[in-house]
Chains A and B, each alone.
Chain A
Amino acid sequence: MLNMSDIMETITMIREENLDIRTITMGISLIDCADADIDRSCEKVYRKIYSHAKDLVRTGEVIEKKYGIPIVNKRISVTPVSLLAGVSGGDPVKYARTLDRVAHDVGVDFLGGYSALVQKGFSAGDRELIDSIPQALAETELVCSSVNIGSTKAGINMDAVSLMGEKVREAAELTKDRQCIGDAKLVIFCNAVEDNPFMAGAFHGITEADTVVSVGVSGPGVVRSVLSKMPKDAPLNEVAETIKRTAFKITRVGQLVGTEAAEMLGVRFGIIDLSLAPTPAVGDSVAHILEEIGLEQCGAHGTTAALAMLNDAVKKGGLMASSSVGGLSGAFIPVTEDAGMIAAARAGTLSIEKLEAMTAVCSVGLDMIVIPGDTPADVISAIIADEAAIGMVNSKTTAVRVIPAIGLAEGEELDFGGLLGSGPVMKVRSQSPSVMIRRGGRIPAPMQSLKN
């Protein structure tokens, strides 16, 4: 039987510690929508997404009420659109408009998959799609875009890296009147995963089933809260054990919600992504967990070690709780979305270099970092290349989502509002990497032995 303390623990987690289901994401394959005529292709895309996802939002709300747990977002991920653009030709922005329209019509919060996978090279549709990203993101509201430019098996496509530096700048320029919001919806990946339910990097991989429902659970507040009840002299292995146990409980809720949602919608259950995803709300911060472990402020020496332990313990707890753990699963460190990170960046404790080191041990990468508006495209490309190199060598996913704040300089602040938060413009090195970036070509795939 259930006992009182278990029941109270669950209720406290949800009511006071911000435990929530961050997202129910429906992955929909668009392969069967490809048509040589782009308008016909768009029409098929609209019809397929609408017919599969029309009940998604309502289903989410029913589950929310049944279990009394908030489901913050309902989202859709689709097959990388470059594949459709490759078949149909024409202006890929038409797809973006179609996706935005259907996303509004079914009532989801975001739709991801305006994507291209070019880790080894460009095929038909890839370059056209990448060229259209800034315009697509400026014209649409709910569409998210991602580009995979490297992998452990293929190396890093430096032509794509160079191109993406320019696209990030263009996307910021085109949306400069709206807090450069275009770049908050654009992620550049190395080793992108195909079943990630989190935005902006979600897309529905080509090896996935036709339609699946995946769930992203979150709960940095819950982890911070259990750690705050531990004595300050508890050894780190005990801290890790406690994190593991908490991650287990959080994941079980995700498993319940995911299975039920899939059943109600009549589709397969995909995966649970148990990432600790912060929000700007007080008490929902990953940085505060690190500080609870014993750092004066996130960004201090020791941050990388604490984060490595946290990330690993979260995965271990989650794996025990569900046999369908996938996606990114770990701890996210998006700067503008995390109250503790924002404070650390403002205080100057947290620098881009430290964040880069942190990304070597956690999911995902340099995320939601505001950089000076006059940062040249070459420098952005070099940031992408550095981050991709960490992912490539360590066989992990890394990503870059930086926002050049047009018109703002170091120290000023950019405020998106809502879940995207706000943050200070962070210092970027001004020395030029342009000769290296303009070389283009490919960084060969790394050795998998002699690892030192």
Chain B
Amino acid sequence: MNETQKAVVTVIGRDMVGILARVSTAAAEGNANVMEVTQSVLDGYFCMIMIIDITEATRSIEELQDSIRTAVPDMQVHVMHENIFNSMHRI
């Protein structure tokens, strides 16, 4: 039995062309499947939350974070296991 492992990617910063493309490419390179994307742009400020499936990923969460940071160097990027959000916001 292999439970699905998910991680949450958040990307925040100034909007520009190709953010989503670059982030998803970096995720794909680590064999992480994109499951859901929510994004908004407010006053030129870009905010994206992406849920990725890392069950079969070839890279660790830290490596994924590093490669996404390299792909979009001007943005604030965090990659965290989804459990921390679940435990904090679900009873």
Q: Is B81 close to A, CB under 8 A?
A: yes
| Across-interface contacts of B78 in A (CB, < 8 A) | 11, 15, 68
Query: Mask for A7-42, Cβ within 8 A of B = 1, else 0?
Result: 111110001000000000000000000000000000
Highest count of chain B CB atoms <10 Å: which of A9, A67, A69, A249? A67
B52 at the interface (CB under 8 A from A): no
Return chain A residues, CB-CB under 8 Å to B32. Answer: none
B86 touches A2 (CB 8 A): yes
Q: Is B70 an interface residue (CB 8 A)?
A: no
The reply on B17 being an interface residue by CB < 8 A is: no
Question: Which residues between 49 and 65 of chain A lie within 8 Å of chain B, taking CB atoms?
Answer: 65
A255 located at the interface, meaning its Cβ lies under 8 Å from any Cβ of chain B in the complex: yes
* A66 interface hit (Cβ, 8 Å): yes
CB-CB contacts below 8 Å: B14-67 with A: 36, 38, 40, 47, 49, 51, 60-62, 65
Within 58-88 of B, Cβ neighbours of A (below 8 Å) are at 60-62, 65, 78-88
Q: Is A66 in contact with B61, judged by CB distance below 8 angstroms?
A: yes
Q: Does A4 contact B (CB under 8 A)?
A: yes
Most buried by A among B40, B60, B84: B84
Contact between B85 and A7 (Cβ–Cβ < 8 Å)? Answer: yes
Whether A252 contacts B88 by the Cβ 8 Å rule is: yes
Name the residue on B nearest A1 (C-beta): B36
Q: Report A-chain residues with C-beta under 8 Å of the C-beta of B61.
A: 65-66, 68
A352 to chain B, nearest CB (A): 38
Contact of A65 among B38, B40, B47, B60 (CB under 8 A): B60
User: B80's contact among A6, A9, A67, A249, by CB below 8 Å, is which?
Assistant: A67
From the candidates B8, B62, B83, B89, name the one contacting A249 in the complex (CB within 8 A): B89
* Given known contacts A2-B51, A65-B62, A10 and B88 CB-to-CB distance under 8 angstroms: yes
B87 in contact with A252 (CB, 8 Å): yes
Chain A residues with Cβ below 8 Å from B62 are 65
Task: Report A242 CB to chain B, min CB distance, Å.
Answer: 16
Taking CB atoms, residues of chain B closer than 8 Å to A66 are 61, 80-81
List of A residues within 8 angstroms of B40 by Cβ: 4
Instruction: Choose from A4, A69, A249, A256 the contact partner of B49 (Cβ within 8 Å).
Output: A4
Complex CA–CA separation, A161 to B43 (angstroms): 64
CB distance A67 to B81 under 8 Å? yes
Nearest-neighbour CB distance to chain A for B37, whole angstroms, equals: 11
Contact B84 A2 (CB under 8 A): no
Any B CB within 8 A of the CB of A308: no
Q: Is A239 in the interface zone, CB < 8 Å from B?
A: no
Contact check, B85 vs A69: say whether CB atoms are below 8 A apart: no
Chain B proximity of A265: nearest CB distance (Å): 18
A255 to B84, CA, bound (A): 10
* B34 shortest CB reach to chain A, Å: 15
A68–B80 CB distance below 8 A: yes
Q: Are A256 and B10 in contact (CB under 8 A)?
A: no
Which parts of A302-341 form the interface with B (CB within 8 Å)? Answer: none
What's the least CB distance linking A102 to chain B, in Å? 29
Q: A408 at the A/B interface (Cβ < 8 Å)?
A: no
Question: Does A253 belong to the interface (CB within 8 Å)?
Answer: yes
Known: A7-B49, A65-B60. A253 touches B10 (CB 8 A): no
0 or 1 for each of A239-271: is its CB under 8 Å from B? (1 = yes): 000000000010011011000000000000000
Q: A7-B8, A67-B80 are in contact. Are A2 and B87 (CB under 8 A)?
A: no
| CB contact under 8 A between A253 and B80, given known A7-B10, A8-B10, A65-B60 | no
User: Which B residue sits closest to A5, measured CB to CB?
Assistant: B89
Among B38, B79, B88, find the residue whose CB has the most chain A CB atoms closer than 10 A. Answer: B88
Measured in the bound complex, the distance between the Cα atoms of B68 and A420 in whole Å is 36
Which A-chain residue is minimally distant from B6 (CB atoms)? Answer: A2
Q: Which of B60, B65, B83, B89 contacts A6 (CB 8 A)?
A: B89
Whether B10 lies near A11 (C-beta < 8 A) is yes
Q: Is the CB of B88 within 8 A of A253?
A: yes
Q: What B residues does A7 contact at CB under 8 A? A: 8, 10, 49, 85
Q: Which of A1, A4, A15, A253 contacts B84 (CB 8 A)?
A: A253
B39 to A, closest residue via Cβ: A4
In the complex, what residues of B have CB within 8 A of residue A2's CB? 8, 51, 82, 85-86, 89
In angstroms, Cα B52 to Cα A11, docked, is 17
The 7 A-B pairs of least Cβ separation, nearest first, read A68-B80, A65-B62, A6-B89, A252-B87, A67-B84, A256-B87, A249-B88
**6 A-B interface contacts by CB (under 8 A):** A7-B49, A66-B81, A67-B80, A67-B83, A68-B79, A256-B84
Beyond the given A7-B85, A10-B80, A69-B84, please list 11 additional residue pairs across the A-B interface where CB-CB is below 8 A.
A2-B82, A2-B89, A7-B10, A7-B49, A8-B10, A10-B88, A65-B62, A68-B84, A69-B80, A252-B88, A256-B87
